[in-house]
Structure 1
Amino acid sequence: MTARGRHHQAKREQAAAMIQVLERGDFATIEGLRDDPLSVLRTWPGIQLILAPESSAGSGCSIAGRYDDETDPPTLVVGTSRSYRRRGFTALHEFGHHLQRTNVELGQTLFAGLDSEGLEETACDEFASRVLLPDDLVAESIGTAGPAASDVVDLFVRSQASREACCVRAANMLNGAGAVLLLDDTGTVLFAAPRGLVPPARGSDQSKTPLIEAALRQRTSAQRDKTFVTYRNGDTSEYLYGQAAWCDDHEYLIAVVASDNVPWMPLALPRPGTRRSRYGTWWTCETPGCGETFKIMKPPCQRCDQPSCGHGHCGCTAVRTQRDRECTACRLTLPPRCFEGTSPICRDCV
């Protein structure tokens, strides 16, 4: 099994364990969370939930919200998007962070792997989508052959779940490497749910890719057998099979892209070697304090799609390092978990 395959399996197992933690409790049912997640979580013991403008709610999360465990009690911050469904998905996602950071068994699972932050984040998406979309409802829209773009739109129409939750559940049913994307009416990625494929970043422009360009130009559903996704560094994926369908009166676009085994084609084989690569080009490490310039001679990190310098730094390292701060007592640069709230002195020096 590939690294991405192991990560996919791990996030599903972690999300299932998170649901089991809820089912062992006696405060609320999964059905209650599904029907009205915001109301239930507002009264959940040991946490508080607040709404905030999306610009201040954002963080490293894949959705517009954040979990703040430096407050007492910890806070679920949910962006005030126009969609009540989306706020519900965001609240459940942030609640997933709370579960994983306060339950010993869930926390041990996180730190047993090499990419605890990545697993925590994707498990939150998986958890939220499974709460909102039970298996029997998903099966009514998506068959065993995997999702077409119209299937994802149908799942959204049939349910009370957000578009993001529908994308996550649909991506889990892909039979090959791929992703389910939510884009706005300009072709900008709002959310991406991958399975075995490096997804395009949130906020990236996909309007020039063959599939999205056709959907935007025609203002109808589109299908392309040779499309791709573009990355912010200028790279593209290998050729993908893709379908796109409009949602909510042409306000949002749902796209399904996959390397092979798509349900709308009788035979869809992978096409390796069609990716545009940076191999052999020069790169400067973006990690603070490093800045090494090196020639790219090996595959990029499978999580962030950035090359690694000679010190092993990639885009993941750069993001983590930006959150670190220096202890005024020992002068060591340490991650946020080593400090009590906003204290300038680390826990070891107090």
Structure 2
Amino acid sequence: MNLDACVEAALRVLPAGVGERFSQDPSAVLGELGLKARPVDELTQHRDDDGACDGISFLEDGVILFVRTPASKRQNFTLAHEVGHWLIDQCDTELDWLADQPNAGKQLETVCDRVASQLLLPHRAVEDARGTQPLAARHVLELFESSHASRPVCAIALADTLHELGAVVIIDAVTHVVTHSSVHPDPDRGWPQVFPWAGQPVPPGHRLKQLADQGHFGARSFWATPWGAQQPYYIDARRDGRWIVAVFADTDVWGVERLHLDGPRAFIQRPEGEVYCCGAVQSARGLPCDTCGSHYCPKCGKCGCDRQAQREVLCAGTCFMQYLPHLLVDGLCAQCRE
């Protein structure tokens, strides 16, 4: 069991066709699920686990309260996120697994965020928006205009389509501060040491600061961190009102330069190890799981905890617990056999 499996299980709860209709009109579909959405000007009650949306659900009553955001599409993400809570609440096995995880509240919020992204932006819509061309800033803006998803949700979905080191970044054109950054690490070398992260200011003298409304630039440029580290990047950027959308790439995927004199890039060093998974010994790089200390399999993404959970079966008794098969006799655990 892992977070991806939880998301898939939650989406399977939806009746046929509901998911596609949700992406077209989020509010109208809620009634089909027996849910009611009630807008409020502000919420006095919040979750203790730092949920990413402006809403809260009362699942027993089938009511979702959400903060109005008429000037943006954020409320659509809020509704989709709360639907995620409703869906997960009906997935007993996945809900039990989440409850047993460290930081269970944050893990649940992450699952609901992913459910929301897929509800608002089905894979087909994301694929159609990008087509076969290299990902560019205009694809993010076009997807934003053609969907009910916010700019950050569009950035997340399109960054997931990258196959090499890159990112989709959203910058406030007034304060020149990064408000969102969806990074796709290098599949072999991992995370770069220098990249625009949320909260970082645009470096002094950067061309992103000079971009006029509706302006565009594509060129070899750079990014510098507040502590002075700097690395070159190829950037395709467009400004739309207050917001600048910029796609960063490790290589010149747009063919904007004739001469490429790119030096070596610094990456965050990740520990290496081996795991036996997917029928063979796999070489893995990255931080191991905090719980079991095992590396994540590079093919399926599972750690030792996930692999053990996958082998466990449900006791046929009344405890509703999962055990490794050899611990069950006639399908019953020791407690249920007493």
Q: TM-score with structure 2 length normalisation?
A: 0.59
State whether residues 188 and 206 of structure 1, in contact with CA within 8 Å, keep that contact through their aligned partners in structure 2: yes
State whether residues 81 and 113 of structure 2, in contact with CA within 8 Å, keep that contact through their aligned partners in structure 1: yes
In 2, distance between residues paired with 1:50 and 1:221? 40
The residue that corresponds to 1:316 in the other structure is: none
**Alignment counterpart, residue 242 of structure 1, candidates 235, 238, 241:** 235
Helix, strand or coil: the match of 2:253?
coil
For residues 1-350 of structure 1, what are the structure 2 equivalents within 5 Å? Answer: 11-23=3-15, 29-41=18-30, 44-45=33-34, 48-53=36-41, 60-62=50-52, 64-68=53-57, 73=61, 76-83=64-71, 85-110=73-98, 116-144=104-132, 146-186=134-174, 187-196=176-185, 204-208=199-203, 213-219=206-212, 220-223=215-218, 225-228=220-223, 230=225, 240-247=233-240, 250-258=241-249, 260=250, 263-265=253-255, 271-273=264-266
In 2, distance between residues paired with 1:270 and 1:94? 46
CA RMSD of aligned residues (A): 4.3
In 2, distance between residues paired with 1:195 and 1:77? 33
Q: Deviations over 1:172-191 (max 9, x none)?
A: 10112443233332233444
Unaligned regions of 5+ residues in structure 2, if any? Answer: 186-190, 270-285, 291-338
How far did residue 111 of structure 1 move? 5.1
Counterpart residue identity of residue 203, structure 2? K
In 2, distance between residues paired with 1:270 and 1:30? 46
Counterpart residue identity of residue 207, structure 1? V
User: Using a 3 Å threshold, how does the CA distance of structure 1 residues 124 and 192 change in structure 2: closer, same or farther?
Assistant: farther
Unaligned regions of 5+ residues in structure 1, if any? Answer: 1-8, 278-298, 304-350
In 2, distance between residues paired with 1:255 and 1:122? 25
Q: Deviations over 1:251-299 (max 9, x none)?
A: 32222234x3563259898954278x9xxxxxxxxxxxxxxxxxxxxx9
State whether residues 168 and 180 of structure 1, in contact with CA within 8 Å, keep that contact through their aligned partners in structure 2: yes
Helix, strand or coil: the match of 1:254?
strand
In 2, distance between residues paired with 1:268 and 1:19? 46
| Sequence identity percentage | 22
Helix, strand or coil: the match of 2:15?
helix
In 2, distance between residues paired with 1:142 and 1:243? 14
In 1, distance between residues paired with 2:231 and 2:287? 15
User: Using a 3 Å threshold, how does the CA distance of structure 1 residues 261 and 201 change in structure 2: closer, same or farther?
Assistant: closer
Helix, strand or coil: the match of 2:73?
helix
More strand by share: 2
How far did residue 101 of structure 1 move? 4.2
In 1, distance between residues paired with 2:5 and 2:243? 31
How far did residue 170 of structure 1 move? 0.3
User: Using a 3 Å threshold, how does the CA distance of structure 1 residues 34 and 201 change in structure 2: closer, same or farther?
Assistant: same
User: Using a 3 Å threshold, how does the CA distance of structure 1 residues 149 and 107 change in structure 2: closer, same or farther?
Assistant: same
In 1, distance between residues paired with 2:124 and 2:116? 16
State whether residues 144 and 173 of structure 1, in contact with CA within 8 Å, keep that contact through their aligned partners in structure 2: no
Q: Deviations over 1:38-90 (max 9, x none)?
A: 23336743x5533344686876233x414355x85375343322346331122
More helix by share: 1
Task: Indicate the structure (1 or 2) with the bigger Cα radius of gyration.
Answer: 2
Number of residue pairs aligned between Structure 1 and Structure 2: 258
How far did residue 230 of structure 1 move? 4.8
In 2, distance between residues paired with 1:268 and 1:116? 47
Counterpart residue identity of residue 88, structure 1? N
State whether residues 43 and 55 of structure 2, in contact with CA within 8 Å, keep that contact through their aligned partners in structure 1: no
User: Using a 3 Å threshold, how does the CA distance of structure 1 residues 151 and 230 change in structure 2: closer, same or farther?
Assistant: same
State whether residues 175 and 262 of structure 1, in contact with CA within 8 Å, keep that contact through their aligned partners in structure 2: no
Q: Deviations over 1:114-154 (max 9, x none)?
A: 66555433433332222222333322221456521122112
Q: TM-score with structure 1 length normalisation?
A: 0.57
State whether residues 76 and 94 of structure 1, in contact with CA within 8 Å, keep that contact through their aligned partners in structure 2: yes
State whether residues 203 and 224 of structure 2, in contact with CA within 8 Å, keep that contact through their aligned partners in structure 1: no
Counterpart residue identity of residue 21, structure 2? G
